[in-house]
Structure 1
Amino acid sequence: MITAKAPGKLYIAGEYAVVENGYPAILVALNQFVTCSIKVSPADTGRIISEQYHENSLLWRRQGDKMVVDQRDNPFAYILSAISVTEEYARSLDRQLQIYDIYIDSQLDSANGKKYGLGSSAAVTVATVKALCLFYDLPVDKDKLFKLAAIAHFAVQGNGSLGDVAASVYGGWIAYHSFDRQWLAEQRQYLDLPTLLDLPWPDLKIESLTAPANLQLLIGWTGSPASTSRLVDKISLFKARQQDKYHHFLEESKACIQRMIEGFHQADLDVIKREIRKNRELLKNLGANSGVQIETPILHELCRIAEDFGGAAKTSGAGGGDCGIVAIDGHADLDGLLAAWQTKKIEQLPLAVHFVNSIRRYKLKIK
């Protein structure tokens, strides 16, 4: 059996703007994982098995008289897309395709199935691609692994920046500049995968960051999951209707994230905290202008309490629920902050930053 895992992630700053080509965000990979195991099937049929997903529910909506299923919230859609793309690459390298069983184990959702917003769709995509690359002995480094997983994930989701895929592949703290997805869609029509993987992708930039030694990251979960895809869809309407305000938001966000990246380079927690607060205000204004509730009342309380204890806090990801993050000095009264969260029924997720080794190291996990 071959086993590979991919970590979950959280956005630290730069949400929504990062969906535009070349605009930056900062993310962090966390030590909760999706694990994918593969073994050759003894039968003439293969299986995809997951304890978490066996009763997976599909979301659907009405479009006129049609019932439309939203595959973007279906983990199996990402697994199947990951298989399709990786096996396309395997065929291009003359590998003989096999029948196998895939076992998926996810730590990224709560025990009762609620989503924490840790990027489970990206992590399951990366873990599946990584395991299949080992299974077929495909020559990939982190850059090619990212590109394969990004192609597979984008084929299902159709929007988003793919920053969560980057965090799952590279690990640690990263600054991510999104690539031109329209270019990717066009190139997929006539370039083979080996050629596409070797090309530089327009605007793509992924940089590993080192956090200041005194930076403590706290994560609070509101207990209310949110759908990133649908929130991004709503912001797209605002973009179309109020282009000047949207463009102003983009430029302000870019400047904010660039200052924050410099704060990481200088190991200056005060700069990082200042820009987290700035990014929070930009996102709140975006929500007010677009009519999208990015910072919910419970997320507002999460941030207010953190600020009372000297932390800089904001929503993480698309908002509308899920998690908030806090950057705070490790010597602050963290116990007091967490106790105050508890009174508001905000759950601390006791997660740590995860750093990813080279994919070749995972061959040690072959059993």
Structure 2
Amino acid sequence: MITEKAPGKLYIAGEYAVLEQNCPAILVAVNQFVRVSITESKTTTGLIHSKQYSQDSIHWVRQGSKMVIDNRDNPFEYILSAISFTESYCLEQGIDLTVYDLHINSDLDSADGKKYGLGSSAAVTVATVKAILRFYGVKISNELVYKLSAISHYSVQGNGSAGDIAASVYGGWLAYQTFDKRWLKSELKTKTLSQVVNEAWPGLKIELLTPPENMKLMIGWSQKPASTSQLVDETNANKVALNNEYKNFLIKSRECVLKMVEGFENKDIETIQEQIRVNRHLLQHFAKINHIAIEIPRLTDLISIAEKYGGAAKTSGAGNGDCGIVIANTKCNTEALENEWKENGILPLNFRVHQITFSH
């Protein structure tokens, strides 16, 4: 049996702007995982089973090199997309496909099944791609896993930056810039998957960051799940009308994140904290002009409490629920902060940053 895992992620800065070319974001991988196990099937029917969706196992058969599913409506779109693209890539490498069982288990939701907002669809995509490549004996590199996962994820979601995919593949703290989506679409129409995966992707930048030694990342969960793709759709629809406002937001977000990256390079926690606060205000303004709720009252409480104890805080990801993050230094009384969070219905999540040691 082969088991692969991929960590969840949190956005630290650069949300919404990261959807555009040349607009960096900072993300971090956290030590909560999706695990995918793959074993050769003993029969001609394969099984895809997830602990999280235990009532819905999918059975499938092979017809030629196609995987044919025998139940229509399933919560497994990302897994199926990852299988489809990864197997296409394997076929292009001259590999014979067989039938197997996949078992998926995730820590990325709370015990009662609520999403934390850690990017579970990205993590399950990455873990599935890795498991299938290993199963078929294909040499794995971060870049190959990232690109196959990004294509798989994007073909289902249709929007997003794939920053969460990068965090799940590379781990740790990273600065990220998305690739040109239109370019990718046209390449996939005219070229083989192997060709597309081996090309340089215009705009894509992934850079690992080393955090300052005494910097502490704190995570608070609002206990209200949110839908990223819905929020992204809403703001995408507004781009044209907000032309100048939107361009201004992108310029300022880029400036803010680049200063934050410098803070990492110079081991300067204060600069990082300062830019966290700048990014919060940019996102508040962005929410206002788009008439969306990014910082719901529970997240505003989370931030105000953190600031009271000297932490720099903001929403993480698309907002409207999910998590808030705090960048704290040694002076910050984290215990008192977390206690006050709990009194206000905010759940401290005791996750650590997950580093991946892996070939490039």
Aligned AA (1:299): L
Distance 1:156 1:237 in 2: 19
Pair 1:82 & 2:82 matched: yes
Deviation at 1:258, TM superposition (A): 0.4
Q: In structure 2, what is the equivalent of residue 349 of structure 1?
A: 349
Distance 1:230 1:269 in 2: 34
Deviations 1:289-336 (A, max 9, x none): 110000000000000000000000000000000000000013421110
Pair 1:273 & 2:273 matched: yes
Aligned AA (1:346): I
Q: In structure 1, what is the equivalent of residue 118 of structure 2?
A: 118
Aligned AA (2:53): Y
Aligned residues: 343
Q: Aligned to 2:189, what secondary structure does the other structure show? A: coil
Distance 1:239 1:55 in 2: 41
Q: In structure 2, what is the equivalent of residue 133 of structure 1?
A: 133
Matches within 5 A, 1:1-367: 1-55=1-55, 75-358=75-358
Deviation at 1:55, TM superposition (A): 4.5
Q: Structure 1's 110 and 30: CA in aligned 2 closer, same or farther, altered over 3 A?
A: same
Deviation at 1:136, TM superposition (A): 0.6
Q: Aligned to 2:207, what secondary structure does the other structure show? A: strand
Would you say the 8 A contact 1:11–1:25 is kept in 2? yes
Deviations 1:212-251 (A, max 9, x none): 0111000000000000000001111221211110110000
Distance 2:113 2:186 in 1: 37
Deviation at 1:170, TM superposition (A): 0.2
Distance 1:244 1:331 in 2: 41
Distance 2:244 2:22 in 1: 18
Distance 2:42 2:292 in 1: 51
Identity of counterpart residues, as a percentage?
Answer: 52
Would you say the 8 A contact 2:8–2:119 is kept in 1? yes
Q: In structure 2, what is the equivalent of residue 70 of structure 1?
A: none
Would you say the 8 A contact 1:24–1:176 is kept in 2? yes
Q: Aligned to 1:188, what secondary structure does the other structure show? A: helix
Deviation at 1:341, TM superposition (A): 0.1
Q: Structure 1's 348 and 55: CA in aligned 2 closer, same or farther, altered over 3 A?
A: farther
Q: Aligned to 1:121, what secondary structure does the other structure show? A: helix
Deviation at 1:359, TM superposition (A): 6.2
Q: Aligned to 1:52, what secondary structure does the other structure show? A: helix
Distance 2:320 2:178 in 1: 22
Q: Aligned to 1:148, what secondary structure does the other structure show? A: helix
Gaps of 5+ in 1: 57-73, 361-367
Q: In structure 1, what is the equivalent of residue 59 of structure 2?
A: none
Distance 2:18 2:90 in 1: 31
Q: Structure 1's 200 and 262: CA in aligned 2 closer, same or farther, altered over 3 A?
A: same
Distance 2:41 2:331 in 1: 53
Deviation at 1:5, TM superposition (A): 0.2
Would you say the 8 A contact 1:75–1:121 is kept in 2? no
Deviation at 1:75, TM superposition (A): 4.7
Structure 1 window deviating more from structure 2 (315-324 vs 237-246): it is: 237-246
Gaps of 5+ in 2: 57-73
Q: Structure 1's 106 and 292: CA in aligned 2 closer, same or farther, altered over 3 A?
A: same
Would you say the 8 A contact 2:5–2:127 is kept in 1? yes
Aligned AA (1:324): G
Aligned AA (1:3): T
Deviations 1:2-44 (A, max 9, x none): 0100000000000000000121000000000000000000111
Deviations 1:259-295 (A, max 9, x none): 0000000000000000000000000000011100000
Would you say the 8 A contact 2:310–2:331 is kept in 1? no
Deviation at 1:158, TM superposition (A): 0.5
Q: Aligned to 2:294, what secondary structure does the other structure show? A: coil
Distance 1:359 1:80 in 2: 26
Would you say the 8 A contact 1:305–1:340 is kept in 2? yes
Distance 2:54 2:249 in 1: 41
Distance 1:258 1:338 in 2: 30
Aligned AA (1:214): N
Distance 1:123 1:75 in 2: 15
Would you say the 8 A contact 1:81–1:156 is kept in 2? yes
Distance 2:345 2:332 in 1: 21
TM-score, reference length from structure 2: 0.94
Distance 1:345 1:207 in 2: 36
